[in-house]
Amino acid sequence: MKKAFVLMLLMVLAALLFAHARQRTQPKPLVFTHVTVIDATGAPAKPEMIVVITGDRITELGPTERVRVPKDAQVVDATGKFLIPGLWDMHVHWYGYDKAYLRLFTANGVTGVRVMWGAPIHFEWRKEIEEGTFLAPRMVIASTIVDGPKPIWPGSIGVANEAEARQAVIRLRRDGYDFIKVYSLLPREAYFAIADEAKKQGLPFAGHVPFWVSAGEASDAGQRSIEHLTGILAACSTREEELRKGFEDAFSNLPQGQRLPSPARTRPLSRMMLETFSVEKSAALFPRLKRNHTWQCPTLTVLRSGAFINDPNFRNDPRLKYMPTQLRTQWDPSTDFRFRERTAADFDLARLLYKKQVELVGMMHRAGVEFLAGTDVENPYCFPGFSLHDELVLLVEAGLTPMDALQAATLNPARFLGKETDIGTVEKGKIADLVLLEANPLEDIRNTQRINTVVIRGKLIPKAELEQMLATVEATANGK
Ligand SMILES: [Zn+2]
């Protein structure tokens, strides 16, 4: 009798354990009902849909009358809400500060980032993120910046010639970086050696167009993306050669201890660039960028903050409360070496340049050039997560439709990264990186900021949890 009881108990226990194990391998499906899907393929919004997520994938998606809700599912009634793909910020930096701040991306529906200056710490973070022990965006990691022999930023790899350039590419590939980041002061010879060696090594290269190289040449050489519109305006000038020589000269003969030429030195060049803009030259360049699939990551967010940084509105941005104190100090224009010496006239000029750059984005977009949304997080007033939404607004102001802007942060990054079978749209079979919005972003792009729920790899993060994330980061930032 006693034995039979023990046996039965053991059997019940085994069954329970088995059921538990099954539950762990086959998680409860997550289902959004009555949701409007904006899949980011370019198709119009689809109302009254059901989206079924099993594990980390979208396993079923269709109109309410056609899709069956699995019995044991966790159902989210999304009546009146809009489902978009998880967003990507394609130009991000984050180094010396706590990784906890990366939650700002998650809390803002940013489920992927392209880190534009990689370091060993990013591989550690990526490992934790992919193992699921740390909830933060997916990461694509650039190499250490490769710049000329006297780099702008300490810590860059400086290369002076072809041999050094090739060595750098080989080493960075061995270190595991996803692509090579090229920078402004690379000599021509070194730049084209990087392009050639990167191709041989099967590694993309992207970044700034160096002053020594024309944007058209960079495009032909296979540079995958051009950041901050570097080289574009110069390449649209009737006096391009002269401009490049001018910048080259200004950067080659820097006074001891100076990383950038003084505004007095670059002022006439910037003016010339604006005054000699040629529609004909731009009409030759843009189709070339399109043909070569040279993506533009204009980072209007950082271009704007650079041009307007003396505007007190920036110092009063309420989102500063989420930033580490040290960064807040660094963002003060009076402490930044890039802005310290600017006069009021320099700021006027910087604003004219910014206005022209916004125009360029519109022109290139109309010419069929492809765009990526990026911000330059960690630079002044580029907030992790929040600023990606600023960038979408700026892209729409520049002439993209809300759908185009949305795609610049979803489908386009997926295409750019060759990951479109896994991410970038809301479609059956894709990884469930999703954002549920309270209002329609195709009506007003600002509605991407009205986030209700985020899903990362199929894991649901409801509003309360997103708010908790923000509160935790705020406490960290303020040393509480
Ligand atoms: Zn950057």
**Residue 356: pLDDT over 70:** yes
Q: Is the dihedral of CA 405, 407, 409, 412 positive or negative?
A: negative
Ligand 1 centre and the CA of 302: distance in Å? Answer: 9
Q: CB neighbours of 421 closer than 8 A, spacing ≥ 6?
A: 429, 430
Ligand 1 centre and the CA of 418: distance in Å? Answer: 22
Residue holding tokens 């479109």?
A: 420
Residue 241: name the closest of 272, 285, 196 by CA.
272
Contact 134, 128 (CB under 8 A): yes
Ligand 1 centre and the CA of 152: distance in Å? Answer: 13
Ligand 1 centre and the CA of 208: distance in Å? Answer: 9
Contact 88, 410 (CB under 8 A): yes
Residue 8: band (very low, low, confident or very high) from pLDDT cuts 50, 70, 90: low
State the burial class of residue 336 (Cβ atoms within 10 Å of its Cβ: 0-12, 13-18, 19+): middle
Ligand 1 centre and the CA of 211: distance in Å? Answer: 16
Ligand 1 centre and the CA of 119: distance in Å? Answer: 14
The proportion of the chain whose per-residue pLDDT surpasses 90, expressed as a percent, equals 83
Ligand 1 centre and the CA of 95: distance in Å? Answer: 12
* DSSP summary character for residue 447: G
Ligand 1 centre and the CA of 166: distance in Å? Answer: 23
Ligand 1 centre and the CA of 186: distance in Å? Answer: 16
Instruction: Write out the DSSP string of 352-383.
Output: HHHHHHHHHHHHHHHTT--B-----BTBTT--
Ligand 1 centre and the CA of 374: distance in Å? Answer: 9
Residue holding tokens 């009254």?
A: 48
The pLDDT value given to residue 340: 76
Ligand 1 centre and the CA of 91: distance in Å? Answer: 6
Ligand 1 centre and the CA of 140: distance in Å? Answer: 14
Ligand 1 centre and the CA of 96: distance in Å? Answer: 15
Q: CB neighbours of 344 closer than 8 A, spacing ≥ 6?
A: none
Per-residue model confidence as pLDDT tens digits over 207-254: 999 999 999 999 999 999 999 999 999 999 999 999 999 998 898 888
Ligand 1 centre and the CA of 297: distance in Å? Answer: 10
Ligand 1 centre and the CA of 74: distance in Å? Answer: 40
Ligand 1 centre and the CA of 338: distance in Å? Answer: 14
Ligand 1 centre and the CA of 1: distance in Å? Answer: 74
Buried b (16+ CB within 10 A) or exposed e, 307-331: bbbeeeebeeeebbebbbeebeeeb
Ligand 1 centre and the CA of 334: distance in Å? Answer: 20
Ligand 1 centre and the CA of 141: distance in Å? Answer: 12
CA dist., res. 16 & res. 3, Å (int): 20
Per-residue model confidence as pLDDT tens digits over 16-60: 555 555 545 567 999 999 999 999 999 999 999 999 999 999 999
Ligand 1 centre and the CA of 254: distance in Å? Answer: 22
* DSSP summary character for residue 99: G
Ligand 1 centre and the CA of 116: distance in Å? Answer: 6
Instruction: Write out the DSSP string of 73-97.
Output: -EEEE-TT-EEEEPEEEEEE---SS
Ligand 1 centre and the CA of 61: distance in Å? Answer: 37
CA dist., res. 142 & res. 157, Å (int): 13
State the burial class of residue 10 (Cβ atoms within 10 Å of its Cβ: 0-12, 13-18, 19+): exposed
Residue 477: name the closest of 324, 327, 326 by CA.
324
Compare 480 and 172 and report the one with higher pLDDT.
172
Q: What share of the chain is helix, strand, coil (3-state, %, to 5)?
A: 45, 20, 35
Give the CA count within 13 Å in the CB-facing half-sphere of 165. Answer: 24
As a whole number, the mean pLDDT across the chain is 93
CA dist., res. 79 & res. 269, Å (int): 55
Per-residue model confidence as pLDDT tens digits over 71-129: 999 999 999 999 999 999 999 999 888 999 999 999 999 999 999 999 999 999 999 99
The pLDDT value given to residue 34: 98
State the burial class of residue 299 (Cβ atoms within 10 Å of its Cβ: 0-12, 13-18, 19+): buried
Mean pLDDT of 159-168: 98
Residue 422: band (very low, low, confident or very high) from pLDDT cuts 50, 70, 90: very high
Ligand 1 centre and the CA of 396: distance in Å? Answer: 21
CA dist., res. 176 & res. 123, Å (int): 9
Ligand 1 centre and the CA of 93: distance in Å? Answer: 6
Residue 388: band (very low, low, confident or very high) from pLDDT cuts 50, 70, 90: very high
Ligand 1 centre and the CA of 368: distance in Å? Answer: 24
Ligand 1 centre and the CA of 117: distance in Å? Answer: 8
Helix H, strand E, coil C: the string for 218-285 is HHHCCCCEEECCCCHHHHCECCHHHHHHHHHHHHHCCCCCCCCCCHHHHHHHHHHHHHCECHHHHHHH
Contact 437, 37 (CB under 8 A): no
